[in-house]
Chain A
Amino acid sequence: MQTIDITLTVNDHQQIIPVKPNDTLLEVVRDYLDLTGSKEGCGEGVCGSCTVILDGHPVRACLTLALEANGSAVTTVEGLADGDTLTLLQQSFIDHGAVQCGFCTPGMLMSAKALLDEDSSPDRQKIRQALSGNICRCTGYAKIVDAVEHAARPEPGCPDCHTKETGGDHD
């Protein structure tokens, strides 16, 4: 099948990528760009493990045609850390025990980042709502919500908040 070139800015790098019409954005980032952080859990929109940020908004990469993303900017979980330096949000996930098997984590991080980019101090209800499209089979969610909350507002005296001195910047 013939390929069509699309322009995609992936984690701040603009690239030209040949795609087939029936390639999803998830297939392109995982299989063509080797960015295997985004996961395919269900492939049908239910689980959220494929969540990426497309032009500033969280979307299901498994339900987005690569061709539809032509000309857009995509951030995947690989685009968060600066080399080995994790973002506050990522560190908070580790500190608060929000990662168990880790399969849902990339999607959770992207949904959480999209929320924090829009609202730097969301309340718990807002965090839960923003993460409500992401399924986790391990943690029971409470620790994930804690992690996002403490990334937004490191709590003085929280024994887990490794990040308490820095605070504020979640990129």
Chain B
Amino acid sequence: MRLPQFTYHSPDTLEGVLALLDEHRDNAGVLAGGTDLLVRMKHRLAGPKVLVSLKHLDSLSYIKEMSGMLCIGAKTPIIDVIRSDRVKQQAPALVQACERIGAVSIQHYRGTIGGNILQDNRCIHYNQSQLHRSGRQPCHKDGGKICYARDEADRCNSTCQSDGATALMAMDAHLVLNSTRGEHRVALDGFYTTDGIHPFDMQPDELLTKIDIPVVPGAVSAYQRLSYRSAIDYPIVCAGIRLVPDQKDAGCIGSARIVVGAMSRSPLFLAKVSQSLAGVRFDDNTAFDRAGKDAMNAAATFAAHNAGADLAFRQAMVEKMVGRALEQAAAQVSMKIAR
């Protein structure tokens, strides 16, 4: 399958990349590992005229701890995240999520954490070859006026199937975006639009440079996902959890973040369900089961029938993914106390 034509640049400096993005804007595409972008270009779903490669920007590939934050450069390869002791300790859910992305030979060495967050939303009706799509009318995301995933939908409900983003949102990650206009920082849970065509609240001249994860003393995290095959396939439901112990009673949850992924246009931070866990004991599995059910009810309405599996099955599995991730996270607390 041939790629469409484009011109290629691989600047040596961040300034060089930002200047090209500023110059070419909507015509430009950032090339990190290319494992999402190049597939869409082959399918003629994306057609940047100018590819700006991050190949030489090694300064964007790092994992370090700074002023209470675990900082990860946007170009850091997935394998470095998986193998980092620091991430394992401070953000275990992210390691679990990255281990589950595709397969070793697809992304682990070429794919990047930034590209993982910024991969386009997906839909089985849309992520198809040009030939497949040419047999019928284009849908909203493809420039048309209908949706195959949800009857009568006036907008696109494509699904964010990023493993990394779901885990990162659970850990309250923030993104740092740079452009020739300057730098700004956004919370990941405030970074999404409600439009499946353009899922990210980001300008075409902006580059994601850094991901910040707050290091919270005593916090534990876990990630669970379901996919057809354990490798290669995208998640059809997933959940990321972070639990912070209560400051006065370490046996109780002080605050929780429950995020459900692959069910909507963005990972869903379920604020109400999360709050309901405050004060719950870490060994209270009944409360976790209840939270799983509540999460299922909260997330179910967002899902469109576009990730392959039966929709009702995916909805039902939210309960399991959330319940399991909660139990797994809570188990880390007892391990920490035992040590």
Contacts and interface: CB of A to CB of B under 8 A. Distances in A.
* A and B pair up: yes
Interface of A: 1, 4, 20-24, 27, 40, 43-46, 48, 51, 54, 57-60, 62-65, 67-68, 107, 111, 114, 129-130, 132-135
B53 interface: yes
B105 interface: yes
B104 A58 contact: yes
Contacts, number: 94
Q: Which of B5, B7, B102, B105 has the most CB of A within 10 A?
A: B105
Closest 8 CB pairs of A and B: A133-B103, A132-B231, A43-B1, A57-B109, A22-B3, A133-B105, A58-B105, A21-B8
Nearest to B3: A22
Contacts of A46: 232
A1 B3 CA distance: 13
Interface stretch (B17-25, B36-44, B283-291, B296-304): B36-44
Contacts of B231: 129, 132-133
Q: State the majority secondary structure of interface residues on A.
A: mixed
Nearest to A50: B105
Contact of A44 (B8, B39, B55): B39
| Size bracket of the B interface | 20 to 34
Contacts of A44: 1, 39, 42-43
A63 B6 contact: no
Contacts of A65: 3, 8, 31, 34, 38, 51, 53
Contact of A132 (B43, B79, B104): B104
Contacts of B79: 57
14 contacts: A22-B6, A24-B3, A24-B38, A43-B1, A45-B38, A58-B105, A65-B3, A67-B53, A107-B105, A111-B105, A114-B105, A130-B104, A133-B106, A135-B232
A21 B35 contact: no
Contacts of B339: none
Contacts of B7: 21
Q: Which of B39, B103, B110 has the most CB of A within 10 A?
A: B103
Given A21-B6, A63-B34, A133-B232, A68 B55 contact: yes
B248 interface: no
A19 to B, nearest CB: 10
B305 to A, nearest CB: 22
Given A43-B1, A46-B232, A60-B35, A132 B109 contact: no
B232 A1 contact: no
B106 A45 contact: yes
B194 interface: no
B2 interface: yes
A7 B259 CA distance: 46
Given A45-B102, A63-B35, A68-B10, 10 more contacts: A22-B4, A24-B38, A27-B2, A60-B106, A63-B38, A63-B110, A107-B105, A130-B104, A132-B104, A134-B103
A135 B103 CA distance: 11
B230 interface: yes
B18 to A, nearest CB: 20
A51 B105 contact: yes
A68 B8 CA distance: 10
Contacts of B42: 43-44
Contacts of B39: 44-45, 63
